[in-house]
A and B are shown apart, each in its own frame.
Chain A
Amino acid sequence: MSFVAKIGAIVTFSAWDATRAAAIIEAEAHRDGALLPVLHALSRAFGHVPDEAVPIVASTLNITRAEVHGVLTFYHDFHREPPLPHMLKLCRAEACQARGGEALAAWAQTRLAGCDTVALEAVYCLGLCASGPAALLDGRPVARLDPARLDRLLAEKAR
């Protein structure tokens, strides 16, 4: 199948490895304005940006650790803690609100309270605004959600 099939694939993250991190950073460092690509690449490999990576990023890009910290903490996408195995990014923006998104969010919060396998995050718009409520489940877009459909999708992840 085409490129779209690959996106929802389950990703397993590596444990911290300083040598690997240095290689990842080095591979992106030649770009102009490389910091965001570097932090994305580290997140893809480790699931988050470990504190140990910050000084390596700073010295490779010749910027201060404070600058790296500033960028790392500014953007919603970057995480400093290891992730749970699964991530549900549920859209909370107006177009999904208009289609029952808030009731679904309340339900999901109850359903996933204390859950140690699926993290729930708010996201503001996935561009699926005529098919909401919508979410990204492990990076894969899902729409026309209601509690029953979301339950089925989460059950597949629990398996």
Chain B
Amino acid sequence: MSLRLYVPGDAAAVAVGADEVAAALDAAAAVRNVALDIVRNGSRGVFELETLVEVETAAGRIGYGPIDPGEAPALLDAALLDGGTHPKRIGRPEDLPFLARQTRLTFARCGITDPLSIGDYRRHGGLTGLERAVALGPSAIVEAVTSSGLRGRGGAGFPTGIKLRTVAEAVAPQKYVVCNADEGDSGTFADRMIMEGDPFLLIEGMAIAGLAVGATRGFIYVRSEYPHAIAALERAIPTARAAGLLGRRVGGSERAFDVEVRVGAGAYVCGEETALLESLEGRRGQVRAKPPLPAHQGLFGQPTVINNVLSLAAIPFILAEGADAYCDYGMGRSRGTMPIQLAGNIRNGGLFETAFGVTLGELVEDIGGGARSGRPVKAVQVGGPLGAYFPPTLFDTPFDYEAFAARDGLIGHGGVVVFDDTVDLARQARFAMEFCAIESCGKCTPCRIGSVRGAEVLDRIISGEAVEANIALVEDLCHTLRLGSLCALGGFTPFPVLSALKHFPEDFGAYKMNAAE
């Protein structure tokens, strides 16, 4: 019998040496004449412990981490003793407080199964949602997603069930399901982890959406910065076809559905849904005016369901366990769970899926352990480059779409980026404008020109030139960007800029003195 080890193939593990660890374990096993079965699982999402090697033992899986390639021989000796002692032995990973405190509905399998084994997927509850969906039929699928309360996880928070219903009711020769996997927000990696660690889940969610609306074709638009996610999907799709998850008779039904991976080309704005559709059609990623909505006229002018990876990946659970099982989690109008991503200068960074309602302070201080540098936390940017910077005085804000909006912020795609007290918020505000200028699609004037002017005016503020007047100018410019831009890139860039001005006036030089007068 061979010894089974798990060495994550997730990009975050590979980036710190997981491939070398796997190779070193192989070599050490050859020397010891031991047969090894190395599974390249997804990541558990506890990145400080990567490379986290797990050993299958009689008492379950035992983890060791973080492991460097040089430690492989000694680790193998420990592993051979049925999960024996080693300085980096962490015990059962699921007992780690960071993992034990989570509610993993979407990430239930990620890090546990072999991502490319359909047998593993099925043994861990996969395909149940599709089977139920086939039995229920289109209108009941739409009803289940609607009553689950699921809202778009890409950032906009639009009810997913309403999108499905609109496309289902449309009459057209061809309908599409498009997965937005252009996860460009800094501080986010949940889409990447699902695509690499549980790709069949996304495919199953798309197949169910296809059945619900009568679409036969799907596209997954993945950003080029995610080569491992692209590779994982390209390998998972043929397996999914062979298993009947895709193809002419999806899940044993009379309906066809298939998906194709398309690769982006480094444009952040293609995460905006209409720019993404333009890009898929082979054009510059320029935003379209709405209406028409993609649900009416989307890809190639046909009715299109376009949703984020996490929205589609939530659907199999909703079908398998029922809408109430999902809706029972959460608060207010934010139902279910959110895979929150703890990033930046944080001690316990990683993927933390939990019900809506957890406060920002619990996430950053309690779960995240504060700044990794050991210095005080000064600011937290939630929701990517278009999200607001919050100071610790707002740490009582619950993770909820409406609660963040009420404080002039947004939860976006669930990224939480922590900064310690060495950060200069004037420079972060300037970066927000600079980023908007670099990534603007150029279609609307406030975004294209306003962002360039914004960066220039912030440069003047930073150098102490007519600070008060220039701050008034920036505020006015933000007003124009917010109301005059076609999409969220120009429209939301004011969030980081204005929040930095409001909560951290001391970083804007003379403004502090002026404000105090």
B312: interface (CB < 8 Å) = no
Inside 8 A of A31's CB, which chain B residues have their CB?
260
* Segment touching A, from B139-147, B181-189, B317-325, B478-486: B181-189
Contacts A93-B385, A95-B417 given; indicate if A129 touches B188 (C-beta within 8 A). Answer: yes
Please, what's the 1-or-0 string for B271-309, where 1 marks a CB less than 8 Å from any CB in chain A? Answer: 000000001111111000000000000001000000000
Q: What 1/0 flags go to B188-203 for Cβ under 8 Å of A?
A: 1101100000000000
Q: Mark A30-52, 1 if CB is under 8 A from B, else 0.
A: 01111111011000000000000
Binary flags per residue of B395-435, CB closer than 8 Å to A gives 1, else 0 = 00000000000000000000101111001000010010001
Contact check: which of B19, B226, B438 meets A4 at CB < 8 Å? Answer: B19
CB closest residue in chain A, given B380 = A98
A-binding segment of B6-14, B72-80, B329-337, B507-515: B6-14
List residues of chain A with CB within 8 A of the CB of B418: 98
Contact B282 A36 (CB under 8 A): yes
Knowing A4-B19, A33-B281, the reply to whether A128 touches B345 (Cβ < 8 A) is no
A36, A78, A94, A96 interface centre (most CB from chain B within 10 Å): A94
**Which of the residues A8, A40, A95, A136 comes within 8 Å of B263, measured between beta carbons?**
A40
Q: Which residue of A lies closest to B269 (CB)?
A: A74
Residues of B within 8 A of A139 (CB): 227
Contact B343 A7 (CB under 8 A): no
- Judge whether B231 and A125 touch: CB under 8 Å: no
Residue of A8, A99, A140 with most partner-chain B CB within 10 A = A99
Question: Are A7's CB and B186's CB within 8 A?
Answer: no
Contact B227 A98, beta carbon cutoff 8 Å: no
Name the interface residues of B91-137: CB closer than 8 Å to any CB of A.
Answer: none
Asked whether B498 is an interface residue with its Cβ less than 8 Å from the other chain, the reply is: no
Contact between chains at A127 and B47 (CB < 8 Å): no
Residues 81-112 of chain A: 1 if any B CB is under 8 Å from the residue's CB, otherwise 0? 00000000100011111110000000000000
A75 near B16 with CB under 8 A, answer no
**Mask: chain A, 1-24; 1 = CB below 8 Å from B; 0 = not:** 111111110000000000000000
Of A63, A67, A76, which contacts B267 at CB under 8 A? A76
C-alpha gap A131/B15 in the complex (Å) = 9
Which residue of chain A lies nearest to B184 when distances are taken between CB atoms in the complex? A125
List residues of chain A with CB within 8 A of the CB of B345: 98-99
Instruction: Name which residue of chain A comes closest to B442, CB basis.
Output: A74
CA–CA, A57 and B137, complex, Å: 44
Which chain B residues (325-358) contact chain A, with CB distance < 8 Å? 341-346, 349-350
B71 contacts the other chain (Cβ, under 8 Å)? no
Question: A94 is contacted by which of B11, B14, B344, B438 (Cβ under 8 Å)?
Answer: B344
* B interface SS class: mixed
Chain A residue contacts of B48, Cβ below 8 A:
130
A154 within 8 A of B: no
Are A95 and B343 neighbours in the complex by a CB distance under 8 Å?
yes
Residue in contact with A141 in the complex, picked from B11, B267, B341, B435, CB distance below 8 Å: B11
Interface residue A118 (Cβ < 8 Å from any Cβ of B): no
> Footprint of A on B, CB under 8 Å?
9, 11-12, 14-16, 18-19, 22-23, 26, 40, 47-48, 50, 183-189, 191-192, 224-228, 231-232, 235, 260, 262-268, 279-285, 300, 341-346, 349-350, 372, 381, 385, 415, 417-420, 423, 428, 431, 435, 438-439
Using A8-B19, A98-B343 as known contacts, list a sample of 10 further A-B pairs with CB atoms less than 8 Å apart, ordered by residue number in A: A1-B22, A61-B282, A71-B282, A75-B284, A78-B265, A130-B343, A130-B350, A139-B227, A141-B227, A143-B15
10 shortest interchain CB distances as A-B pairs:
A130-B349, A35-B282, A93-B186, A76-B266, A129-B343, A75-B265, A98-B344, A143-B15, A141-B15, A127-B189
* 22 CB-based A-B contacts, threshold 8 Å: A4-B40, A4-B231, A5-B19, A7-B231, A33-B280, A33-B282, A35-B282, A37-B262, A37-B263, A75-B284, A94-B417, A96-B186, A98-B345, A98-B423, A123-B225, A123-B266, A128-B189, A129-B186, A129-B189, A129-B344, A129-B415, A130-B350
Using CB atoms and an 8 Å cutoff, list the residues of chain A in contact with chain B: 1-8, 31-37, 39-40, 61, 63, 67, 70-71, 74-78, 89, 93-99, 123-132, 134, 136, 139-144
